[in-house]
Amino acid sequence: MSETAQVSSLPLPPMQYVTLFSEENTKRGRTPRPPPPITDNYSMFGNPYNTDDAVIRPLESQNIRRLYPNNYDHRRELKKLNHSITASFLDLVDICIRNPESEARATKIDDLTLLFIHMHHLVNEFRPHQARETLRVMLEQQKRQRLEIAERFRRHFDKAWELVQQAISTIPEPTESNIKLLIDIERVQPSEGNSNNQACGNGCAEEDRVLCQIIDLL
């Protein structure tokens, strides 16, 4: 039984371009530079565009007849277009049933195409508003994350401060006996010049003699 061949719905990437971005070329900086920005006219999906054009081009600039006035309510016009598309579709179905070869069928298809173009245009006019709302949501999310990080840092700081205060409270208070012991230890410590003293007369080193004195004080 032959294995089922897997076919991708997308074209394969251009290998003559992909091989230029190998790891070695990337490390050595030999990858191709990005294309320069477009400064004049360009074509996209077979339609000519200009960099100075508005994001949402008017219908008149695309040689499309406008079906609604210049001052309009988006919601109202979208509802009207939706009703018109439904009615035109039912008319098209009726024409296809009665006389499929009639010229009215092509006319009705053109009407439906024009209605869908207008609906698509009205929906695209909401893109700037959608972009602003998307940016607002992203900023609110970043603000919430930063506030949560600041709150966690504050809790860790308070916990660390509490541990430090507990450690300080466990340190015993200095007493007269401890102070006297410290004074006596400082008194019997050898000076820096005598750090390498030789053995004293009784046969013990100076360091041993100091330790013995400290033990006696304890």
Query: What is the distance between the alpha carbons of residues 84 and 173, in angstroms, rounded to a whole number?
Result: 91
pTM exceeds 0.75 for this model: no
Q: Domains of the chain: which residue ranges?
A: 60-148
Write out the chain's pLDDT in tens, 218 residues: 455 566 667 777 778 788 888 888 888 888 888 888 888 888 878 878 888 877 787 888 778 888 888 888 888 999 999 999 999 999 999 999 988 888 899 999 999 999 999 999 999 888 888 899 999 999 999 999 999 999 999 999 999 999 988 888 887 776 666 555 555 555 545 554 444 444 444 556 666 676 666 666 55
Cβ-based neighbours of 128, under 8 Å, separated by 6 or more: 55, 56
How many CB atoms lie under 10 A from the CB of residue 108? Answer: 19
Cα distances from 107 to residues 28, 40, 103, 122, in angstroms, run 61, 37, 7, 23
Q: Which of 127, 121, 119 is nearest to 82 (CA)?
A: 119
- Residue 16: in which H helix or E strand, if any? helix 15-18
Q: Which residue type sits at 166?
A: Q
What residues does 44 pair with on adjacent strands?
A: 47
